[in-house]
Structure 1
């Protein structure tokens, strides 16, 4: 049970099979909505209004690679001024400059 919901909700979903001598990535597609409402049954207090339980997806961090110890992370983030139209930018952990097609490397 949650007592209070944060203003910004951060969820971390890991997709690795961890064993004593190895850590392998589980390759599966995962779909999730742009809008999320936390169900009232997950809250210890029912005082949270329905609007106070709603979140909108801002960014997703992805891992490309077959092992947790190697690979590449990138972030797909919505541009604040275009959230309603779901325009996004991709930020990458490699160095570089602005790329065409709305992709930025840093």
Structure 2
């Protein structure tokens, strides 16, 4: 993905270690954005209608801007949850800390 080593936190390591508690379906996305920030998004199905997601946004130097985990209820596939996580990560990458999550009229900044 990148030649920069990402400085993940305990939040990511804890989410990654809990991999034994999911069903077979999972999805991953990593990308370096135009502004040089890096995003990592992962989703895995943990029940018939629940998906666990992780997203991380990292600066040009690989430093953490934001890492977050969530359980998305009512979703039946990891792909839908992954799209959510990618959008959240891109919002945080825009301008360093990102566009406000509640500003739904603003286009994704990256």
The TM-score normalised by the length of structure 2 is 0.28
Whichever structure has more helix as a proportion of its residues is 2
Which structure's residues are more often strand, by fraction? Answer: 1
Query: Who wins on radius of gyration, i.e. which is larger?
Result: 1
